[in-house]
Structure 1
């Protein structure tokens, strides 16, 4: 079938993207679902820094690629072997498909699925197939098995979670990346307990979702840290107890003064080594520093190794919030419906597919938290 999709031909375009137009809205050919695959009518797709890092070349991917990895939609058709979904079901797309059989999957860590990671790196679905082609028949790569900046997407069944139809699809889309990653880092990776002290560095959609998660977990202190005063104000509205501008020369000292020497849990979502260094410096003795930011592959972080032992410090990575999506998305949505996880407050704008380059300008300039393309 012929659909409209946002296609990235090459990485490294210079902003403003409204002028350089890295994403071309094209008519492409989408093949029907093969075995264990599903055709989804996309209702809403979120603009995320992970998409931006492909556009600017920080996260290299095979080109050309149909972009987009955070979305929700409606099941349109089922491939052979799919028996646990029905046409008309509402689903959230997850950007790492889990095979269910490799060592990480068997250990209950589907975010680390080895075949899923290999397929994502190759630009294919979990099956190894590509279901997209341009008008000349040239194959297009899939972005993280999703490619959801499009009217429809053919994806692996292992990339989908069925969700409650009561949740609006433009809000449900955020659960596939921002909420899984941010809330999951708090409740799964760090296991923040009620009464703990926390700090969140980098207040994009994922970082602000972590603020929501820390508030829902009952943290007594949530210090929000960013370069943008507007985002600091937003963090206060979402449950942060204190804010610190990261540009301040004494930012670390401010956090330590607020938290009696450092927080128990510091979370870094900026994807920058300087932000991770700040997170490490504001973590107290015996505390945990958790990073879910994705810096360029060549970035390196140096730390005083003795403090790992002498201060019993912990440094942990968190990918997709250490989540089991089929378990955690329904749980997080239940909290949302109870008013305990107001994910709808992360939405800062809705736009048409033709406006996507302008949307990435706003994201690049820090003027938006989570925008969604609606279809």
Structure 2
């Protein structure tokens, strides 16, 4: 490697291992790449399940995929971004396959490879130790648990400099996933009913989006009372503690027969079945929760058939980040999408505490402060 830049990064050494801060090096950007000084990075459930090897990303690796920062250098093929731009980093996609060309980059034919392979599409790494030993990277085309990250121009989204940059990273994945599942996939309509199974950051982002879409019956299901209280503050008309109440029965009573739209974000198959059972006639449920690869689920086929119900998987909120993330920023600026109520900030050195707090339900959306944006 030439033109190496010193960075500090959180390395995941092996399955279930703590994040460990290390001094590493990253190469300069080339072609359509941008180098971003990371201000802050959201910690997502996907970072933790990859650490725990639900998905077979090779380790050791630098994870992190909700980065926000300032461009400090660009490759010679970059056209629409410049040094000094504030950007949110989102998921990787090829930009040339049938799905990408039809406006569906979240379903890129090379999505898994570009986001979970631990290297670039050619199998190369950009990060190494000081002895030039490569460290797996390019996680979601960014690996942003680091002071600097390389991204492609197509997944670096320019944002308004008047909005606090340290807040915006989660728009690149978790917040975009919940809001997009409602707005882009389910297309929740005015005066309809909506339920989120799971009132974490993704579920509550979906709740906020359902309110924006005009749903008038908005239900949150969880087992953590503090999350249900926050759901009410954010616009839920009803909350259900599923440890105390059968959610399917409660939802059918609230909606007089079944809910029109549902979101499942827990990744638990028994909760997915509850979501399907709670749907009304022609109801639709979006699945965003990710269990280990190979997980199978069960449901009553005739219930699905006779009810005309729809089950749809959703990646990244079916969003086009270049347009959807700025739209979410505008909604936030207008006070309609207060996702800042979901976050808690941690210092870079406290990443493992952030992960523990997230797993224990104490923090909905940790954001790791990595550098100052000035």
Q: TM-score, normalised by structure 1?
A: 0.94
CA contact (8 A) 1:199 1:266 kept: yes
Between the aligned partners of 1:165 and 1:373, the Cα distance in structure 2 is 20
Per-residue Cα deviation, 1:307-366 (whole angstroms, up to 9, x for no partner):
33211110111110111111111111111111111121111x211111000110101101
Partner of 1:118: 113
Between the aligned partners of 1:360 and 1:145, the Cα distance in structure 2 is 21
- Cα 1:311–1:302, aligned 2, differ >3 Å: closer, same or farther? same
How far apart are residue 80 of structure 1 and its match? 1.7
Between the aligned partners of 1:109 and 1:183, the Cα distance in structure 2 is 16
How far apart are residue 127 of structure 1 and its match? 5.6
How far apart are residue 285 of structure 1 and its match? 1.5
Matches within 5 A, 1:252-331: 252-331=248-327
Partner of 2:101: 106
How far apart are residue 197 of structure 1 and its match? 0.1
Is 2:16 the counterpart of 1:12?
yes
Partner of 1:213: 209
Partner of 1:17: none
Partner of 2:150: 154
CA contact (8 A) 1:126 1:145 kept: no
CA contact (8 A) 1:126 1:156 kept: no
CA contact (8 A) 1:263 1:284 kept: yes
How far apart are residue 100 of structure 1 and its match? 1.8
How far apart are residue 287 of structure 1 and its match? 0.5
CA contact (8 A) 1:196 1:218 kept: yes
Between the aligned partners of 2:304 and 2:276, the Cα distance in structure 1 is 11
Query: Is there any run of 5+ residues in structure 2 with no aligned partner, and where?
Result: none
Is 2:178 the counterpart of 1:182?
yes
Partner of 2:333: 337
Aligned counterpart in structure 2 of residue 368 of structure 1, from 363, 366, 369: 363
2:229 match: secondary structure: helix
How far apart are residue 67 of structure 1 and its match? 1.2
Between the aligned partners of 1:47 and 1:82, the Cα distance in structure 2 is 28
How far apart are residue 249 of structure 1 and its match? 5.2
CA contact (8 A) 2:93 2:114 kept: no
Partner of 1:18: none
How far apart are residue 126 of structure 1 and its match? 4.7
Partner of 1:356: 351
Query: Is there any run of 5+ residues in structure 1 with no aligned partner, and where?
Result: 14-21
How far apart are residue 280 of structure 1 and its match? 0.8
Matches within 5 A, 1:187-198: 187-198=183-194
CA contact (8 A) 2:155 2:321 kept: no
How many residue pairs were aligned?
365
Partner of 1:2: 6
CA contact (8 A) 1:267 1:292 kept: yes
CA contact (8 A) 1:47 1:372 kept: yes
Partner of 1:16: none
1:144 match: secondary structure: helix
Q: Which moved more, 1:83-92 or 1:133-142?
A: 133-142
CA contact (8 A) 2:178 2:206 kept: yes
Aligned counterpart in structure 2 of residue 225 of structure 1, from 221, 227, 234: 221
CA contact (8 A) 1:40 1:73 kept: yes
Per-residue Cα deviation, 1:238-296 (whole angstroms, up to 9, x for no partner):
11111001223522111111111211001101111122111111111211011111111
Partner of 1:70: 66
Per-residue Cα deviation, 1:7-50 (whole angstroms, up to 9, x for no partner):
0010134xxxxxxxx11100011111121101000011011111
Aligned counterpart in structure 1 of residue 36 of structure 2, from 40, 62, 67: 40
RMSD, aligned α-carbons: 1.3
Q: TM-score, normalised by structure 2?
A: 0.95
Per-residue Cα deviation, 1:118-164 (whole angstroms, up to 9, x for no partner):
22232123564311012221111122221111111012222211111
Between the aligned partners of 1:369 and 1:276, the Cα distance in structure 2 is 21
Per-residue Cα deviation, 1:167-220 (whole angstroms, up to 9, x for no partner):
111221121112210100001000001111000011111111111111111100
CA contact (8 A) 1:224 1:243 kept: yes
